[in-house]
Amino acid sequence: MTMDAVECRSDTEYADRPLSLIWEGHRYEIAEIFSRWRGPGEKGFCVKTTDGSAFELTYMEISDDWHVQPL
């Protein structure tokens, strides 16, 4: 089983700005964050990668887990 992973920049708190992601064993560099939100216990981002793919990234704070979903 391949784990989804997100490398991010953390300034004032964890998961401030995603920089890259791993999905289905491939690493993607993030070129743009075009949407972000915050919910109870989670942070979310819609991002575009350098190859033009788009993903929704959700960081679950309690479980310290990322969910990566292609758009």
The per-residue pLDDT for 12 is 67
* C-alpha dist (Å) from residue 18 to 52, 61, 71: 16, 15, 16
The per-residue pLDDT for 9 is 73
Three-class SS state of 18: strand
pTM: 0.86
Taken in order 27, 29, 35, 39, is the CA torsion positive or negative?
positive
Strand ranges, E, within 1-71: 5-9, 17-23, 26-39, 42-49, 54-60, 65-70
**Residue 24 tokens, joined:** 């289905």
The per-residue pLDDT for 1 is 40
- Per-residue pLDDT tens listing for the chain (71 residues): 445 688 877 666 677 789 999 999 899 999 999 999 999 999 999 999 999 999 999 999 899 889 999 99
The per-residue pLDDT for 15 is 73
